[in-house]
Structure 1
Amino acid sequence: MTGVLTHLNAQGEANMVDVTDKAVTQRQATAQGYIRMSPQTLTMITQGEHKKGDVFAVARIAGIQAAKKCGELIPLCHPLMLTKVQVDFTPEPAHSRVKVTSLCKLAGQTGVEMEALTAVSVACLTLFDMCKAIDPEMTIEGIAVLTKSGGKTGNWERAQSC
């Protein structure tokens, strides 16, 4: 574990970190998570046979929207002017799951890890919501930051796959 808790002031009170004097740099983060489901549900959504339509398209939009609203959802998180949000889905039939990945980018004074995590989380939640009537036993798992770049600490990459 590295770093210090920056969301506490000298009195131990929660506060928003002041990034006014930080340099504007290109920042990027990727995250991933999984939604495990029955093989039948996975087949239904990958073949476009769900009665609600293209669940991946809806979940993609939800993930992008969630990244843009991260500062409203997470206390003390800065509202950011994202320049790129991408949400992708990779069906993994051998594991009866869908891998959800996100990429968030900006030129700014603070990182975008929370936005990437929020995009993945809400995309997974949207898939769950759209499929819960046919598969209530789905699980969401393994949500994690994979990479980050930019800022004072530079580049970071998860040592092992989730």
Structure 2
Amino acid sequence: MALTHINQQGDASMVDVTNKAVTSRTAIAEGYIYMQPDTLKLVEQHGMQKGDVIAVARIAGIQAAKKCADLIPLCHPLALSKVQLDFELQPENSRVRIQSLCKLAGQTGVEMEALTAVSVAALTLFDMCKAADKSMRIDGIRVLSKQGGKSGDWSADG
């Protein structure tokens, strides 16, 4: 399999998508932040000194998806048409599940934007809760599915 981000001289290279068709593309990613049960209760009850940490993490994730090309050198700047972040408190596992959805009509996929949204949302939760819980852990960041483009649809579930 040929690497798409390496040119014939072996140098890093941004993929030329000029001749690719504009299609509807969607990617969904997830990740988790594990924390102590008492910390999770503070998140749920909006009891953190820094305020509503979920609301701030949502905005941070949306901003991060929009800035993905500024953070990852060979990503194309994309005109995202939708970025959505959802948070699910899972007290039985002492964690928060973060899911992102990124969507556009374009010439390249949005998996990196979805992953970046989840990552930065998790980092924001960590930052806003670290005074209460230094043992938090971010884990399980992955693409769940992608739709559109030449390679078609893909799902982690098969």
Give the TM-score taking structure 2 as reference length: 0.98
Which runs of 5 or more residues in structure 1 are unaligned? none
Instruction: Report the equivalent of 1:132.
Output: 130
Deviation at 1:52, TM superposition (A): 1.2
CA deviation vs aligned residue, 1:111-148 (integer Å, no higher than 9, x gap): 00000000000000000000011101100000000000
Structure 2: distance between partners of 1:21 and 1:101:
32
Structure 1: distance between partners of 2:129 and 2:85:
19
Q: What amino acid maps onto 1:26 in structure 2?
A: S
Runs of 4+ deviating beyond 4 Å: none
Instruction: Report the equivalent of 1:123.
Output: 121
**CA-atom RMSD, angstroms?**
0.9
Percent identical across equivalent pairs?
68
Q: What amino acid maps onto 1:74 in structure 2?
A: I
Which of the residues 123, 140, 143 maps onto 2:141? 143
Structure 2: distance between partners of 1:37 and 1:5:
38
Deviation at 1:53, TM superposition (A): 1.0
Q: How many residues align?
A: 158
Which runs of 5 or more residues in structure 2 are unaligned? none
Counting only pairs closer than 5 Å after superposition, residues 53-132 of structure 1 correspond to structure 2 as: 53-132=51-130
Give the TM-score taking structure 1 as reference length: 0.96
Q: What amino acid maps onto 1:77 in structure 2?
A: C
